[in-house]
Amino acid sequence: MNSIRKVGFVIKPHAPGVGAILRDLVAFLEGRGVVCVLEDAAAVKLGARRGLAREKLPARTDLVVVLGGDGTLLSVAGPAAAAGVPVMGVNLGRLGFLTEVPVAEARRTLEELLTGETGIIGGRRFLQARRGRAVHHCLNDVVINKGALARMIQIAIRIDGREVAVLKGDGLVVSTPTGSTAYSLAAGGPIVQPHVPALVLSPICPHTLTFRPMVVAADSVIGLRLQTDGEEVYMSLDGQRGAELEEGDEVTVRTSPLELRLVSSPARGYFDVVKEKLGWAE
Amino acid sequence: MNSIRKVGFVIKPHAPGVGAILRDLVAFLEGRGVVCVLEDAAAVKLGARRGLAREKLPARTDLVVVLGGDGTLLSVAGPAAAAGVPVMGVNLGRLGFLTEVPVAEARRTLEELLTGETGIIGGRRFLQARRGRAVHHCLNDVVINKGALARMIQIAIRIDGREVAVLKGDGLVVSTPTGSTAYSLAAGGPIVQPHVPALVLSPICPHTLTFRPMVVAADSVIGLRLQTDGEEVYMSLDGQRGAELEEGDEVTVRTSPLELRLVSSPARGYFDVVKEKLGWAE
Amino acid sequence: MNSIRKVGFVIKPHAPGVGAILRDLVAFLEGRGVVCVLEDAAAVKLGARRGLAREKLPARTDLVVVLGGDGTLLSVAGPAAAAGVPVMGVNLGRLGFLTEVPVAEARRTLEELLTGETGIIGGRRFLQARRGRAVHHCLNDVVINKGALARMIQIAIRIDGREVAVLKGDGLVVSTPTGSTAYSLAAGGPIVQPHVPALVLSPICPHTLTFRPMVVAADSVIGLRLQTDGEEVYMSLDGQRGAELEEGDEVTVRTSPLELRLVSSPARGYFDVVKEKLGWAE
Amino acid sequence: MNSIRKVGFVIKPHAPGVGAILRDLVAFLEGRGVVCVLEDAAAVKLGARRGLAREKLPARTDLVVVLGGDGTLLSVAGPAAAAGVPVMGVNLGRLGFLTEVPVAEARRTLEELLTGETGIIGGRRFLQARRGRAVHHCLNDVVINKGALARMIQIAIRIDGREVAVLKGDGLVVSTPTGSTAYSLAAGGPIVQPHVPALVLSPICPHTLTFRPMVVAADSVIGLRLQTDGEEVYMSLDGQRGAELEEGDEVTVRTSPLELRLVSSPARGYFDVVKEKLGWAE
């Protein structure tokens, strides 16, 4: 990693205490000669009229600091990965699967990054979802889901060109290992270590009870074709963006060439986070 | 049961062969002096211009015969229960959990009903869902579910006035024993014998992994309060009718005084149907 | 309930602090003119040479107090139910599903029982398991399970004389509603309110993935026939007593005429206990 | 692969029709100048007094043909992998996950192997389980399981030297992708494509309900330490061999350097087998 001279800040504006923490970290960095770049919401918190648009911020920095939860981090993950800029998530409330640096460790972790300690940055693969000409990238998951009043839908699943199954149910989650602890877990999927080269397919309320979560190789090409007519069906990406699907629509999901450079807490391993989030310690 | 002098027919119009079966059963019944009453779609099949509206049909008959699947039967279950008229479901394709009389046994089963064999009629309790002044009745389930693009929702659950849990996830199914093999099963709920005096609460993709399906007494009063703001959330009844919910809305679910008198196949017990539908025999 | 003049004590001898609590409660009761009767282990704690055998204690008292966990309470549940004597479980460590009175509430709860407050005693149905001439009673569950090195076993399940399924897998749990939060829950079964008149059948690691937990009426007669030859298979009762089964052995399980009169914490409802034990509150 | 001049046969002796199929394939191979080598049971079927011991057979052949089910194949997988000799499983009854060549395709598949068509041979990684000085290899899984009458056990799980969790429950399955469709699936684990470089940890009836199946990198070192005293606990390997464990015993599981060269049906992909075995096609 080149040396860090510019740090961008992205925040969850209504999180309690976010203003004070932002001010503190900006002061800390500026005291070390680092330039701080703020997205709109962060700039307003510090009394400015405006800052940068969130999606444009990563390309103009050497590191993005997110003050908020996993949702806030997801919203800037794509531009950060595209720009090759690492992201450090500081959780303001509860520990997140992505925002794993607690406020109390934020200064120390920044310190390590400034002094070139890059061992704490891990790569997190993205998914690419192609539908017609549109290509989307997401860090956690692509979900095909029926509307709340729709009936059971059918999705024909092909893996590497070969038909695997026709899923009947509420829908399907295709997730990266990173996304395995998000929606996929609630749907019944396994917990997958971030660096396992794999994708997870977890059915949502499958009608066929033998249809179970599947783990396939990361270089698989997954073709999903909607076979249901006249019901509301949506594709959503990282639970943040969505599009309606119609009968016959095909979505092709595969591992993306993009990779998020995510800063881990130096004090925590992956399973420490899992253990704390899922209450295994108790 | 009083003797059967009028039989009503409700059909799934596009089911293959439904016209011929309808004609056959009408001829059979008329040959025995029974008057046949047809809903619109059935009347059209037999060449008439129109018949009765489906929901008005039960009150004018002594027995309703449904030619179709479980969905068709569900659509007439409420009016039939309100009128106290038994329903016989003849499945045209695959065996249904409600439409368990196969075509080949339809004449024989009608014969038994005409000659007063009432042992094959079982009572199936309904749910009542009250929201504000509106009261709905349903045979299978009341489902509160988020829209496809909505995020996790929160539902506060009270049982008999006492708060049990705040569920975070995609939603909740409250089902009768009859409905336990429908959506509740896909959500992870148990199979409950129809005559067990109980209700089932099955969470849909719960965020809290320890939140498991619950079976409560049939006389429980279940209060569900939506605590989520700004997301699309719907209540649906038997997967057929729906209404949007807003933050603070409260739905009260309890066993209804209504009961459907459902005709069972004389040749099958409840678990024979379950075994065949779920492929246990294999 | 007749007035309480004799209280028996059953303890988990190695639980930290059990001696002091025993001494305190005995003093409290004797101060009110109540005679205290001690099982062997409890007598030794108070300096005596010996007391009564645990299983003989209930018949000589008007109330049994258990100081320990659910396992300790289960060990005396049968004799207490046979004698018609209520049981109050005081949990010394973590809250139990059966031992739900905390130490801090023990005196107050005893006080209420002495003054005739019987509303806090609920009936908990037992199971009866018959194998040949031997009849066993248990409060939680009858489990048929393969030995650790045995292969998959087959159990033919009959309900009310009708074959329901042949289960292939590690085994089967038949539980009362009371037992639904014990082993059955770990095997994937639902949580069932104690007063629902039902039994739960939960398969253990079923080979047939569509084989799901079932809830049947409390008056069902469940016939289980082992169809596996040459493998170690055991029946266990409340996880405390066991017997080996052989091919062709048949176990008949039904609700027992016995009922345990269990003292609830006046401050807690059933779901308060569930919520605390399963961490729903978090 | 060098050319095939010697083929060994391993059989399930009591499988219906196994003698005729063995005779047929031996005749077919001998007609092409291939020498056939028989294990004891196979030799007896063809009228000889004795053959080779099963475990010694692979080292003396260029290909092992198994006539039986997955259990039969597992029993020779270790010696075959150690000798680097490919194995072709012909299923005599139902399709197996490992024995995926049907009898009707056996000659054709042998033909392809004799003519050098090696594309149909895939590598299947083994597990290595080390306990003290003893090292075991297995293709499907290492299972630590309590005895049928034992109570809940505790296993401390370390991954790459870091403690992940203390599992309380009946036990744990560590499986290869190949083993993911065996016991791990019954315990609730995901289906993992054979070539995904991963291991699966599936808890058996976990007491902690948030403890879910985990997928970790294939190069992980998994340390399992039994923390339970005085209960019967066993380790079993591929469901075929076992050993008792005592408190404090530590088992270290990792991917083995061994790899089984397994012949696939040329007509079937991995998910075709899964689809057929799990009844997804229905």
Q: How far is CA A260 from the centre of its chain?
A: 9
The structure tokens listed for C177 are 């509603």
A245: number of CA atoms within 13 Å, CB side?
A: 32
Q: How far apart are CA D129 and CA D136, in angstroms?
A: 5
Mean pLDDT within A44-52: 93
Q: Is the pLDDT of residue A2 over 80?
A: no
SS3 D115: coil
Mean pLDDT within A52-59: 96
Residue D240 main-chain phi, psi, to 5 deg: -120, -35
Mean pLDDT within A83-98: 93
Q: For position B256, what pLDDT does the model report?
A: 96
Residue C48 near residue C38 (C-beta atoms within 8 A): yes
| Mutate: best of D94, D209, D275, partner B, most B CBs <10 A | D209
Does C281 lie at the interface with A, CB-CB under 8 angstroms? no
Q: How far apart are CA B86 and CA B261, in angstroms?
A: 5
Q: What is the sign, positive or negative, of the torsion defined by CA atoms of A102, A107, A108, A113?
A: positive
Does A187 lie at the interface with D, CB-CB under 8 angstroms? no
Residue A182 near residue A140 (C-beta atoms within 8 A): yes
Q: For position D266, what pLDDT does the model report?
A: 76
Residue B183 near residue B167 (C-beta atoms within 8 A): no
pLDDT digits 0-9 by tens, B166-205: 999 999 999 999 999 999 999 999 999 999 999 999 999 9
Per-position pLDDT tens, chain D of length 282: 458 999 999 999 999 999 999 999 999 999 999 999 999 999 999 999 999 999 999 999 999 999 999 999 999 999 999 999 999 999 998 889 999 999 999 999 999 999 987 778 889 999 999 999 999 999 999 999 999 888 899 999 999 999 999 999 999 999 999 999 999 999 999 999 999 999 999 999 999 999 999 999 999 999 999 999 888 999 999 998 899 999 999 999 999 999 999 998 877 889 999 999 998 876
Does B208 lie at the interface with C, CB-CB under 8 angstroms? yes
Shortest CA gap C267–chain A (Å): 24
Q: How confident is the model at residue A279 (pLDDT cuts 50, 70, 90)?
A: confident
Name the one residue in this structure whose structure tokens are 């083993």: D179
Residue C61 near residue C87 (C-beta atoms within 8 A): no
Whether C213 sits inside 8 A of B190 (CB atoms) is yes
Q: How confident is the model at residue A282 (pLDDT cuts 50, 70, 90)?
A: low
Tell me the residue type at B149: L
The structure tokens listed for A51 are 């800052």
Partner residue opposite C236 with nearest CB, options D149, D169, D205: D149
| Mutate: best of A215, A255, A265, partner D, most D CBs <10 A | A215
Q: For position A63, what pLDDT does the model report?
A: 97
pLDDT digits 0-9 by tens, A156-187: 999 999 999 999 999 999 999 999 999 999 99
Partner residue opposite D210 with nearest CB, options B210, B279, B282: B210
Does C149 lie at the interface with D, CB-CB under 8 angstroms? yes
Shortest CA gap B175–chain A (Å): 15
Burial of D88 (0-12, 13-18, 19+ CB in 10 A): buried
Q: Is the ipTM of this complex over 0.85?
A: yes
Q: Which of A220, A226, A173, A229 is nearest to A201 (CA)?
A: A173
DSSP secondary structure letters along B105-118: HHHHHHHHHHTT--
B261 contact partners, CB below 8 Å, separation of at least 6: B80, B81, B84, B85, B86, B87, B121, B122, B123, B124
DSSP secondary structure letters along D8-20: EEEE-TTSTTHHH
Strand partners, D85: none
Mean pLDDT within A214-243: 95
Spell out, as residue ranges, where chain B has pLDDT lower than 50.
1
Whether pTM > 0.90 for this model: the answer is: yes
What residue spans of chain B are helical by DSSP H? 18-30, 40-45, 70-83, 103-114, 183-186, 270-278
C-alpha to C-alpha distances, C122 to A54, C71, C118, nearest whole angstrom: 60, 19, 9
Q: How far apart are CA B61 and CA B170, in angstroms?
A: 41
Q: For position C2, what pLDDT does the model report?
A: 59
Q: Is the pLDDT of residue A1 over 60?
A: no
Name the one residue in this structure whose structure tokens are 């003054």: C115
Q: How far apart are CA D274 and CA D282, in angstroms?
A: 13
Q: CA angle, B254 as apex, B250 and B255 as ends, to 5°? A: 160
Tell me the residue type at A181: T
Look up A70 and say whether it is catalytic. yes
Q: For position A95, what pLDDT does the model report?
A: 86
SS3 A129: strand
Chain-wide mean pLDDT for chain A? 94
A178 contact partners, CB below 8 Å, separation of at least 6: A97, A98, A124, A125, A139, A140, A194, A260
Rg over CA atoms, chain A = 20
Closest A-chain CA to B212: A186
Spell out, as residue ranges, where chain C has pLDDT lower than 70.
1-2, 282
Does B132 lie at the interface with D, CB-CB under 8 angstroms? no
Partner residue opposite D169 with nearest CB, options C186, C207, C209: C186
Beta strands in chain D (DSSP E): 6-11, 35-38, 63-68, 87-91, 101-102, 121-131, 134-138, 141-146, 153-159, 162-175, 191-192, 198-206, 214-217, 222-226, 233-237, 241-245, 250-263
C-alpha to C-alpha distances, D90 to D23, D76, D85, D126, nearest whole angstrom: 14, 14, 16, 21
Q: For position D119, what pLDDT does the model report?
A: 72
